[in-house]
């Protein structure tokens, strides 16, 4: 019996941490700023556990029965937490944060009640020093197990909704196991058994219908028909369609619309690459959709393109889905293209190659994981891989809506010795959008010879480098790894736009 209860502690700890990770991951997906979301979720959860531990002293009778009921409650609340939060966000976005922290607090209180009750149940069989050491050992082992399984297996393969429901079922499993172990000591065993199987049935039904629940929730997040949705270890990928318009969303953020993406990608690639007639080797960081690569391949003089994108889910999707392959014109399948799925920082540290043109096409710096890719330290790595007369271009958010963020990227590039040439263009899906060309020499836009384009012409390129007064340069700090000031700028500026 002692070993069975200690194993239950392992399961309980796994479930508690899983609910905490789900809440943190889901809130960072939906609200952005992962550091803020995880910090506040973890803080609320630990505080609530303390409250639960304090409240446990008021449970004085029928400890086993109360323990079973707490397992059922935490299994029900924690198990349905992901789908509940998803539905609240889609239908009632205003109180989402309130509901999020109420759920986290409720789960934390219930989890905080569990361990003290188990220790009190076990105290008849173990000396105090053995009781504390063994219970806490299994508690920490359970937390370790789920912390490894969650990012590697559970989140990418089951998704948030099914993962939550799976751990809810495990909580009910602990309750049923306790009912079996203490069957002679439970006067209300039949009632507890009925409650346990009832909760088990609800969670099992939710697990089997998780796909429909997720689709129903996402159908309200996205205005158009969802034609592809998947969770990878790195992000949530959703592709929607309305008539002939395909749209890509990463973690709920629009990345492109097929109606006007050509404006974005032509502006990203051609001003710089067309000024380098001798360019042979090109590096693309990010851009796993292959759309920037499509534009680069229009230059017959380019002998090789290396695309480095963290997520194989992205590059696989845009290499195989017929509609998306048609959009990038099969760019990722070209003999001139090498696709590498790796972290850009690690890849740059290990690479010994030099490139004539480097395209940095990462998502906006909405969190610290992305913000590190806009730091002075990152740009120093880039400088080492740039050929003597090479150029790089960085997509740099909107100089109109996120003006200080844009000029922060300029300041950061200049801090490592680059000479910069900022420019901008209009992309209807995003509004006014900004880019920065940088190199060891100054870039002077002139009469450039372009390949076939839908939007860009040699005549309009010089005007792209002229900024009106409301987008002109403003003072901004250098974005360093230890301060990530760009993420704070970005969050503050885009929050005003969204409101």
Determine the Cα–Cα distance for residues 18 and 4; give it in Å rounded to an integer.
Answer: 21
Which string of DSSP letters, residue by residue, matches 163-195?
A: HHHHHHHHHHHHHHHHHHHTTTS-TTHHHHHHH
Burial (CB count within 10 angstroms: exposed 0-12, middle 13-18, buried 19+), residue 460 = exposed
The two three-digit tokens of residue 386, written as one number: 């740039």
The two three-digit tokens of residue 20, written as one number: 């905490």
Of the listed 343, 361, 364, 470, which one is catalytic?
Answer: 361
Burial (CB count within 10 angstroms: exposed 0-12, middle 13-18, buried 19+), residue 353 = exposed
361 assigned to active site = yes
Determine the Cα–Cα distance for residues 444 and 472; give it in Å rounded to an integer.
Answer: 18
Which residues partner with 57 through β-bridges? Answer: none
CB 470 within 8 Å of CB 424: no
Determine the Cα–Cα distance for residues 71 and 192; give it in Å rounded to an integer.
Answer: 11
How far from chain centre, in Å, is Cα 52?
Answer: 31
Determine the Cα–Cα distance for residues 217 and 87; give it in Å rounded to an integer.
Answer: 5
Burial (CB count within 10 angstroms: exposed 0-12, middle 13-18, buried 19+), residue 399 = buried
Closest CA to 110 of 137, 142, 70: 70
Determine the Cα–Cα distance for residues 115 and 136; give it in Å rounded to an integer.
Answer: 9
Collapsing DSSP to helix, strand or coil, 283 comes out as strand
Q: What is the dihedral of CA 134, 137, 139, 145, to 10 degrees?
A: -140
Q: What is the dihedral of CA 205, 211, 212, 216, to 10 degrees?
A: 130
CB 103 within 8 Å of CB 77: yes
Determine the Cα–Cα distance for residues 307 and 95; give it in Å rounded to an integer.
Answer: 41
CB 470 within 8 Å of CB 287: no
The two three-digit tokens of residue 114, written as one number: 């569990």
Q: What is the CA radius of gyration of the chain?
A: 27
Known catalytic residues?
361
């Amino acid at each position: 019996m002692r070993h069975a209860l200690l194993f239950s502690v392992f399961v309980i700890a796994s479930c508690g941490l899983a609910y905490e990770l789900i809440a943190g991951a889901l809130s960072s997906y939906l609200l952005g700023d992962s550091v803020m979301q995880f910090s506040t979720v973890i803080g609320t959860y630990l505080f609530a556990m303390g409250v639960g531990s304090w409240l446990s002293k008021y449970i004085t009778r029928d400890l086993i029965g109360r323990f079973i009921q707490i397992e059922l409650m935490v299994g029900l609340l924690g198990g349905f937490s992901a789908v509940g939060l998803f539905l609240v966000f889609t239908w009632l976005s205003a109180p989402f944060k309130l509901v999020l922290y109420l759920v986290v607090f409720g789960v934390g209180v219930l989890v905080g009640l569990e361990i003290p009750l188990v220790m009190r149940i076990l105290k008849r069989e173990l000396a105090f020093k053995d009781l504390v050491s063994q219970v806490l050992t299994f508690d920490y082992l359970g937390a370790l197990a789920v912390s490894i399984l969650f990012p590697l297996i559970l989140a990418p393969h089951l998704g948030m909704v099914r993962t939550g429901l799976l751990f809810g079922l495990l909580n009910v499993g602990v309750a049923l196991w306790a009912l079996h172990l203490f069957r002679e000591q439970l006067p209300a065993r039949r009632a507890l058994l009925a409650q346990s199987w009832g909760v088990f049935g609800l969670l099992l039904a939710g697990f089997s219908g998780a796909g429909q629940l997720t689709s129903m929730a996402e159908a309200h997040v996205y205005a158009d028909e969802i034609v592809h949705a998947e969770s990878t270890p790195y992000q949530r990928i959703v592709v929607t369609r309305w008539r002939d318009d395909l749209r890509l969303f990463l973690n709920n953020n629009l990345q492109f619309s097929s109606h006007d993406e050509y404006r974005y990608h032509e502006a990203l690639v051609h001003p710089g690459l067309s000024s380098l007639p001798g360019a042979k080797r090109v590096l693309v960081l990010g851009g796993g959709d292959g759309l920037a690569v499509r534009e680069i391949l229009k230059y017959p003089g380019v002998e090789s393109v290396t695309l480095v994108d963290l997520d194989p889910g992205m590059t696989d999707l845009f290499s195989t889905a017929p509609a998306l392959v048609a959009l990038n014109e099969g760019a990722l399948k070209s003999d001139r293209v090498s696709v590498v799925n790796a972290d850009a920082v690690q890849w740059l540290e290990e690479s010994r190659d030099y490139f004539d043109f480097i395209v940095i096409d990462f998502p906006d710096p909405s969190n610290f994981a992305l913000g590190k890719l806009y730091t002075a330290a990152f740009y120093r790595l880039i400088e080492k891989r740039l050929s003597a007369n090479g150029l790089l271009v960085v997509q740099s958010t909107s100089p109109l809506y996120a003006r200080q963020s844009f000029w922060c990227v300029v300041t950061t590039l200049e801090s490592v010795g680059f000479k910069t040439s900022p420019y901008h263009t209009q992309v209807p899906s995003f509004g006014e959008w900004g880019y920065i060309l940088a190199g060891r020499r100054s870039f002077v836009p002139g009469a450039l010879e372009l390949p076939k384009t839908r939007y860009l012409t040699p005549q309009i390129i010089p005007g792209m480098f002229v900024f009106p007064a409301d987008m002109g340069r403003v003072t901004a700090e250098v974005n360093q790894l230890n301060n990530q000031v760009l993420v704070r700028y970005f969050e503050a500026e885009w929050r005003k736009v969204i409101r």
